[in-house]
Structure 1
Amino acid sequence: MLTRKRHGRVIELSKPPGSMAGMSATAAATANILVEDFAPARRSLRIAVVTETYPPEINGVAVTLARLVDGLRARNHELQLVRPRQPSEAAAAHQPCQPCQPDAGGDSDASSPTAMDEVLMRGLPIPRYPQLTLGLPSKKALLARWTLRRPDIVHIATEGPLGWSALQAARQLKLPVSSDFRTNFHDYSRHYGVGWLHKPILGYLRKFHNQTQHTMVPTEALRQQLAGFGFQNLCVLARGVDTERFHPRRRDRALRASWGAGDDTRVLLCVGRLAREKNLLQLVAAFEAIQQAGIDAKLVLVGDGPARAELQRRCPQALFAGTRSGVELATHYASADLFLFPSLTETFGNVTPEAMASGLALLAYDYAAAAQLVRPGENGLLAPKGDGTSFVRQAVALAADPVRARGLGLRARQTATTQDWERLIEQVEQVMMSAMARV
């Protein structure tokens, strides 16, 4: 007789007829075998991810989404990545919807269960950001592709024309959809002289996300804000950070020397798009106040964007390092001393945990990732949201106290090590399963 233990109970399983024949008495006496009830293998999903931006484009959405895609593939899910063809690929001999292989850093083995089908769609450069591409409407192409090979779920990361096409195609095919709220486009309008577009943009975003089964947001504060605007089906999923890449050990004295920084120089760093919505004139004001206090300091800005020329005129002493990525970006972080982040338009702000993982003393406004990760006075500093006077005052005090800054940086690093990507990927899986159950 076989016995099977299931959830604390022993279930008897009959032996096949004649299976006891020819057995010795001892063997027959031990024929009651306990069979462990192993958990079933995790289900492998076919996931279509739709986005307007992806590496090698460099921005928070692209970098985070790439990490999510890699994590899902590593967990044996079959990924289809739908995105616009980027400028560097414009001359490639592919037709719209032609699958191509991942880049050199990915898994190009098409027979692998984690191989990725990368689908390139038509796109146009975004005004003021020619290095980025906006996807064009592609509903018919997506309907044809997904009718031929249905995904289990469609995940939409951006709300542009390509994202809207994917949403409408998925709804027509009755496919479950999850989405990300990653960019405060409605708030951006106020920085470009078109504040009257705030309500229409917010209305479009609400209409978009309320047609999905779940919308993932990175913080509880953002969930509450969007719920107040009428957004539904919101769930909070924070973002992880690569604590092996972003690490204090990457500090480089030669790089600091190239900035004209000695051992006692306070290097102030800011990383991100150089654009009006990033509130970078507040950063310049803090740097100038630090200089006026007689502190030996350098300001390094990593990134690029339409406001670069204006910032160079406003602060010619600043060092503009341009766009950096990978280990080079991590080295820039670790080679600084303070991270000043004045932005007021983030949904999360990936640079916050990256700076903390790099062991930098951080000053930011009390919202988004900083509000979630920073314990003021313990592992960083926070200024009340929008209080520029407090931001400048705290920046000067932090630059004047290198011992305190080092202590904040050490504890910031400890906090960053708890932001595990593996845990986040598991949570995304759970959200996707829940979305599938709601269709």
Structure 2
Amino acid sequence: MRYGIVTETYPPEVNGVALTVQGLEQGLRERGHAVDVVRPRQRDDEATTPDALLVRGAALPRYPGLKFGLPAARLLQRHWRRQRPDAIYVATEGPLGWSALRAARRLGIPAATGFHTRFDDYVRSYGAPWLQGTALRWMRHFHNGAQATLVPTRELQAFLEGQRFRNVVRLPRAVDTQLFHPDARDDALRARWGLDARGLAVIHVGRIAPEKNLPLAVRAFRELQRIRPEARFVWVGDGPARAALQRENPDFVFCGIRRGEDLARHFASGDLFLFPSRSETFGNVTLEALASGVPTVAFDYGAARETLRDGVHGGAISDGDDAGFIAATLRIGADDALRARMRPACRDAVAALRPARVAEAFDHLLQSLAARDDRHAATAFT
């Protein structure tokens, strides 16, 4: 089979969408399929991805280093006429994604979309809550233009179906448990953070941006620091809120963006992972923390609802309960013996998740769309 993947973000950009899309692409290739990736050209791009079509992009406001793809419907039609995919997957709702759906409809190519970002929540975080309804209608119009919309959790599936999204299909996520592993813990790295083997490293991994609800993580850490004054708060990632956060908290450790084995070392070298975001569709970093054996405090939705059990793997906090988030941080952060018991349980929580299974399910879904399209085409010509 030949599949097309259209995305406006892709590694070396570091975010959940980019890494998820790359994982799906690699999984399809490992299953023997040809994959045609369409994405914006990045700085110093060498197009190392096989069968990549690079299109024009523009800088994403307030997100340095990220781009969105410009409209390219005619280019995509020409490209797909020459090398027609059996089905396509459109991962992002930007101008390039809209162009891809238009081109696919005109050529009769079946398409699935991925619901990766809660833009309706993002507009609230950026000071425009009155646009939430508009954003949701815009997303519904986009996704209902495809034959299926893929989501990572049952919770999100039920929400979208309640908002009149059609053909919503759950595609679970997985984590590379060979890469993210407790054995990646690095005492030399912890020493650079100012900690010895018994010190307490509280860690946050992700984009440092307003929609991530980061002031709550800061409040929780400061409360914990009252009883564990030697604790350090380690931040892995970058984003528009980093400069202010770093200026206001000079004692925090900022490590910037990390990738691959280096990221795995940073995860495993932490003792407690705080994830206060309430705007995720999933939250891949939750799985990566658990795979690394790091107890996690997060709100009970997305990946946390799927895998994190309160009191077993960390704290799963009711949505909106900021006091509960802080209390769990104190309870778990202050108790070394409790975290030691949680570490193997965290690992066990995600041990059965396999990227190969996700790739298999993704492949079967795209094949079903292609087969359905073939049947409709055969009917049209009889």
TM-score (norm 1): 0.83
Residues 367-409 of structure 1, C-alpha deviations (whole Å, 9 max, x = no match): 1000110122222321111111000011011111111112112
Change in Cα spacing, 1:124 to 1:331, as seen in structure 2 (3 Å) is same
Structure 2: how far apart are the matches of 1:229 and 1:222? 11
Partner of 1:243: 177
What is aligned with 2:197? Answer: 263
Q: Does the CA contact (< 8 Å) of 1:361 and 1:406 recur in 2?
A: no
Is the aligned partner of 1:323 residue 2:257? yes
Matched residue, 1:109: none
Equivalent residue for 2:32?
76
Give the distance between the partners of 1:399 and 1:295, measured in 2 at CA.
Answer: 12
What residue number does 1:164 align with?
98
What is aligned with 1:62? 18
Is the 1:289–1:396 contact (alpha carbons within 8 Å) kept by the matching residues of 2?
yes
CA drift of 1:63 comes to 0.8
1:408 aligned residue (326, 329, 342): 342
Task: Give, in angstroms, the shift of residue 196 of structure 1.
Answer: 2.1
1:211 to 2:167 alignment: no
Whether 1:332 aligns to 2:288 is no
RMSD: 1.1
CA contact (8 A) 2:64 2:239 kept: no
Maintained 8 Å contact 1:217/1:237: yes
Structure 1 unmatched ranges of 5 or more: 1-44, 93-99, 103-115
Q: Would you tell me which structure has more helix in proportion to its own residues?
A: 2
Q: Deviations over 1:34-58 (max 9, x none)?
A: xxxxxxxxxxx11010000001111
The residue type paired with residue 277 of structure 1 is E
Residue 292 of structure 1 and its aligned partner are, at CA, apart by: 1.5
* SS across alignment from 1:131: coil
Runs of 4+ in 1 over 4 A off after TM superposition: none
User: SS of the counterpart of 1:140?
Assistant: helix
Q: Distance in 2 between matches of 1:177 and 1:52?
A: 16
Task: Determine whether 1:288 maps to 2:184.
Answer: no
Match of 1:10 in 2: none
State the partner residue of 2:87: 153
**Matching residue within 253, 270, 281 for 2:187:** 253
What CA distance in whole angstroms lies between the structure 1 residues aligned with 2:221 and 2:238?
19
In structure 2, runs of 5+ residues without a counterpart are: 374-382
Task: Report the Cα offset of residue 148 of structure 1.
Answer: 1.9
CA shift, 1:340, in A, is 0.9
Bigger-Rg structure (1/2) = 1
Query: Shift of the alpha carbon at 1:289?
Result: 0.1
- For residue 64 of structure 2, give the secondary structure of its aligned residue in structure 1: strand
CA contact (8 A) 1:48 1:79 kept: yes
Q: Give 1:184's aligned residue.
A: 118
Of structures 1 and 2, the one scoring higher in RCO (CA 8 A, sep 6+) is: 2
Shift, 1:294, TM fit: 4.0
Are residues 411 and 287 of structure 1, via their aligned partners in 2, closer, same or farther at CA, if it must alter by over 3 Å? Answer: same
Amino acid at match of 1:120: L
Task: Please name the residue that 2:316 is paired with.
Answer: 382
8 Å contact from structure 1 (residues 218, 239) kept in 2: yes
* Percentage identity across paired residues of the two chains: 46
Deviation at 1:184, TM superposition (A): 0.6
SS in 2 for 1:310: helix
- Are the aligned partners of 2:87 and 2:110 in contact in 1 as well (CA < 8 Å)? yes
Structure 1 residue corresponding to 2:354, chosen from 420, 424, 431: 420
Superposed displacement of residue 435, structure 1: 1.8
Q: Matched residue of 2:286: which SS?
A: helix
Contact 1:264/1:296, CA 8 A, preserved across alignment? no
> Is the contact made by 2:182 and 2:293 (CA closer than 8 Å) also made in structure 1?
yes
The CA deviation at 1:280 is 0.6
Residue 295 of structure 1 deviates from its aligned partner by 4.5
| Contact kept in structure 2, 1:123 and 1:136, CA below 8 Å | yes
